[in-house]
Structure 1
Amino acid sequence: MALGASRRLQDGVVAVETMTRFALAVLALASGVYTYLGARTILDGSPTAVFFAAIIYSVSVSVGIYAFWSYMARFYPHITSRTGRTAMLAVMAAGAAMIMAMSSWLNAAALAGSSAVEQHLSETVEAYTADLDRAHQNAIAAQSLLPDIQRAGERFSQLAGVERQSGSLTGTTGSGSVVQLLTQMSAQMKSLEGNINGSREQVADLFEQGQKRLEAMRGLVSAPGDIGPRADQFSTEAVALTGVVSSLSQTSIAPSIRRAADDLAIGFIAPVPDGAAPDLVNRQNQVMETVKASVSAQSKALAKAADEILSRPTVGERRFVPLSPAGAVLEYAGDFIPAWAGAISIDLLPGVMVFILAVVHGAIRRQEDPLPFAERITAAELLQALEVQRAVSASGMSVEQATAAMEKPETSQEDARLAELKADEVKADEVKADENTNIRSLDPKTRRDRSHEDR
């Protein structure tokens, strides 16, 4: 039973040998094709130079892959020692690493290079969107101070009007030094309010430009066609959007508000009391001190709010870095695991066939080793052994000489013929000797009886 199973395994190995070579050739060719497509995406130069360079490289890869796995399939299954197996496994690992280095990543670039570049463009759009939103928020953050500035300006204006009409602050109506001071503070607040409103329109216009750039970039990411021209146009839009973001960062009115808040307190100039009576002058001074304290408090509040806005992280300048399909596949390898698996499998699949052959040959050796020689010898080997035995008996040659003569028929045909002729002569002599012996052994009576019978 063991001999039959071993024979069937040997027949199977012989039957799949052609298929194994064909599979190795097809896999090597497929890897070469995808390597060619991937190599073209990273080569620079004229179209002719790129074509021939990619062809030469891909052919070299195909030949190398076919030769390497052919050697492994031919030798590895027949190595039985532990040291030899370990050395061959080390060689196989080194060869597989080299194949992945020179072919697999280019295969992945051919399979998923365009998708990887689109992934890069998509993530770049998201990053630019975040930059634009942050720059816009920083630019309009100062506008949150507008209600406070408006209320302060209205309060100063109302106090000036009340003082002018009823003298509620100093007890004396008219446009004196107090009314003049309140009107001055109201005018400063109105000026600051105008600056904020003016920046609002500029920020809105810049933000709208940025939105249009982002819309164009998103369209390029999802548009059909070759990824190369789309990536070039995307780069142009990215540069323009970078300028918009920088302009938004410089449009913030917060620094101006911070300076204006300092000017309110530092640049406060109270007019000289113009009252005729000492009592009126005293009241005017008291009101001016109150106004000064109110302006100082307003200045501190504005400065604190402006500092909070200025403490926000600024938007750094972002540079768009174009990536080739091969570079994008390496950069976003985690997002394209199926493509990488296919690219690597097409190069390393022959290793599975090598291990299958190793397992089969190991099974054949295990089934044949326990059998005695008489059960393992084939009919052809038995006939060859008989011929060696005849040659040894007939010519007196040693077993080694007879075996060498049988293994080298082209160089020993004449010797074999001479041995056969000599063996025939020996047999003829033996026959004649036997006949003479038989004749002499007959007695005279028997010969007379035979003569009588003949007569």
Structure 2
Amino acid sequence: MALAASHRLQDGVLAVETMTRFALAVLALASGVYTYLGVRSLLDGSPTAVFFAAIIYSASVSVAIYAFWSYMARFYPHVIGASSRGAMMGVMALGCAMIIAMSSWLNAAALAGSAALEQHLAETVQDYTADLDQAHQNALAAQSLLPDIQRTSERFSRLAEDERENGALTGTTGSGSVVQLLSQMSSQLSELEAGVLASRERVTTLFDEGRSHLATMRTLVSAPGAIAPRSDDFSAEVVALSGVITSLEQTSIAPSVKRAAEDLSLGFIAPVADGRGADLANRQDQVMQTIRASVAAQSQVLSQAADDILAREPVAERRFVPLSSAEAVLRYAADFIPAWAGAISIDLLPAVLVFILAVVHGAIRRQEERLPFAQRITAAELLEAMEVQRALGRQGIGIEEALQATENEDERTHTDSNITSLDTSVKTPRKGPPA
């Protein structure tokens, strides 16, 4: 029964030998084709030079893969010793690493290169969207000062009108020094308000332009067709969007608000009291001192608010780096595990065939060891034994006599060995205890 099973396994190994070679050839060819597609995207130069260079590289990869796995399938199943099999395993591991390095990542680039590039573009869109939003927020931060500026301007204007009509501050109606000063402060704040409003319009225009570029970039990411021309158009949109973001950073009105706020206090020029009487002039001086203190306080508030806006973190400079399909697959490898698994499996699947052959040959050896010697002897060994028998017959020696002579020779050899050992022990003096 064991003999029949061993024969069946041997017959099976012989039957699949052709299929094994065919499978190795097909897998090596498939790997070469995908390697060609992957390496072609990395080469620069004329189309002819790129074509032949990619063909030569992919052909070398196919031959190397086929030769390596053919050697492993031929020799590994017949290696028995633990050290030898361990050495073969080390060689196999080194070969697998080299195959992955020269072929598998290019196969992955061919399988998922376009998708990886699209993901790179999509993530770039997200980054630039965040940059545009941050630049827009920084530019609009100064708009939060507009209500305070408007309120202060209206207060000065209203005080000037009340002083002119009712003498609310000095008790004397008319347009005097106090009215002139209040109107001056209201006019300065109105100019600052106009600057902030103009900045809002400019910021809105730039933000709309930036959103238009982002919309075009998103369209390029999801558009059908080859990825290379889309990537080129995407790069052009990135350059335009970067200019918009830079303009937004420079459009902020906060520095102007800070300078205007400092000018309110440092550039305060109070007119000379023009009251005809000493009492009126004294009252005008007192009111102008109060206005000076109010202007200084308002200037400090606006200056501090402008400092808080200027302290915001600016948009970090970002540079778009176009990637090849192979580089994109490597950078986003974690997102394309199925493609990587398929690319590596094409190159390393023959290892499964090698291990199958190793297991089968191991089973054959174990079954043959349990067979009687007569069933384990090969035809060559049988012919050699028959030749020995004929040689002994020509000398007139029978098989039994030859066997008996061999046994006697073994016994004499064993006896001579024992005598030699005994003689050596006698001649060697023993070390006894000291007298």
Return the TM-score normalized by structure 1.
Answer: 0.84
In 2, distance between residues paired with 1:261 and 1:371?
Answer: 106
Instruction: Give how far 1:130 is off.
Output: 0.9
Change over 3 Å in CA distance of 1:397–1:175 after alignment to 2: farther
In 1, distance between residues paired with 2:200 and 2:380?
Answer: 102
Instruction: Give how far 1:100 is off.
Output: 0.6
Instruction: Give how far 1:59 is off.
Output: 0.3
1:247 aligns with 2:247: yes
Change over 3 Å in CA distance of 1:24–1:387 after alignment to 2: same
1:86 aligns with 2:122: no
1:154 match: 154
In 2, distance between residues paired with 1:387 and 1:283?
Answer: 145
What amino acid sits opposite 1:190 in the alignment? S
Change over 3 Å in CA distance of 1:314–1:395 after alignment to 2: same
What amino acid sits opposite 1:329 in the alignment? V
1:8 is paired with a residue whose SS is helix
1:259 match: 259
Instruction: Give how far 1:376 is off.
Output: 2.1
| C-alpha contact 1:114 1:227 (8 A) present in aligned 2 | yes
Instruction: Give how far 1:396 is off.
Output: 5.3
What amino acid sits opposite 1:388 in the alignment? E
1:67 match: 67
In 2, distance between residues paired with 1:391 and 1:278?
Answer: 157
In 2, distance between residues paired with 1:190 and 1:232?
Answer: 48
Counting matched residue pairs gives 397
1:33 match: 33
What amino acid sits opposite 2:124 in the alignment? T
Greater displacement, 256-265 / 51-60: 256-265
2:99 match: 99
| C-alpha contact 1:156 1:186 (8 A) present in aligned 2 | yes
In 2, distance between residues paired with 1:288 and 1:5?
Answer: 117
In 2, distance between residues paired with 1:306 and 1:276?
Answer: 42
Instruction: Give how far 1:387 is off.
Output: 4.4
Over aligned residue pairs, what C-alpha RMSD do you find? 1.7
| C-alpha contact 1:120 1:328 (8 A) present in aligned 2 | yes
| C-alpha contact 1:40 1:50 (8 A) present in aligned 2 | yes
2:223 match: 223
| C-alpha contact 1:391 1:397 (8 A) present in aligned 2 | no
1:410 match: none
What amino acid sits opposite 1:212 in the alignment? S
In 2, distance between residues paired with 1:197 and 1:127?
Answer: 29
1:430 match: none
1:315 aligns with 2:321: no
What does 1:268-307 correspond to in 2, within 5 Å? 268-307=268-307
What does 1:47-446 correspond to in 2, within 5 Å? 47-377=47-377, 380=379, 384=383, 387-388=386-387, 391-393=390-392
Instruction: Give how far 1:382 is off.
Output: 7.9
Instruction: Give how far 1:375 is off.
Output: 3.2
Gaps (5+ residues) in structure 2?
Answer: 398-435
Return the TM-score normalized by structure 2.
Answer: 0.88
Greater displacement, 292-301 / 24-33: 292-301
Instruction: Give how far 1:15 is off.
Output: 1.3
In 1, distance between residues paired with 2:284 and 2:35?
Answer: 91
Change over 3 Å in CA distance of 1:397–1:291 after alignment to 2: farther
Instruction: Give deviations 1:206-225, integer Å, cap 9, x for gaps.
Output: 11111111111111111111
What amino acid sits opposite 1:218 in the alignment? R
In 2, distance between residues paired with 1:383 and 1:256?
Answer: 108
In 1, distance between residues paired with 2:374 and 2:300?
Answer: 110
Change over 3 Å in CA distance of 1:397–1:50 after alignment to 2: farther
In 2, distance between residues paired with 1:392 and 1:178?
Answer: 145
In 2, distance between residues paired with 1:357 and 1:189?
Answer: 91
In 1, distance between residues paired with 2:278 and 2:288?
Answer: 15
In 2, distance between residues paired with 1:119 and 1:87?
Answer: 42
In 1, distance between residues paired with 2:63 and 2:374?
Answer: 45
| C-alpha contact 1:156 1:182 (8 A) present in aligned 2 | yes
| C-alpha contact 1:246 1:317 (8 A) present in aligned 2 | no
Identical residues among aligned pairs (%): 71
Instruction: Give deviations 1:99-137, integer Å, cap 9, x for gaps.
Output: 011000100010000111111111111111111111111
Change over 3 Å in CA distance of 1:226–1:235 after alignment to 2: same
In 2, distance between residues paired with 1:168 and 1:382?
Answer: 133
In 2, distance between residues paired with 1:23 and 1:95?
Answer: 19
| C-alpha contact 1:192 1:260 (8 A) present in aligned 2 | yes
Instruction: Give how far 1:188 is off.
Output: 0.6
In 2, distance between residues paired with 1:395 and 1:154?
Answer: 139
Greater displacement, 384-393 / 348-357: 384-393
In 2, distance between residues paired with 1:373 and 1:292?
Answer: 122
Instruction: Give how far 1:72 is off.
Output: 0.7
Change over 3 Å in CA distance of 1:114–1:246 after alignment to 2: same
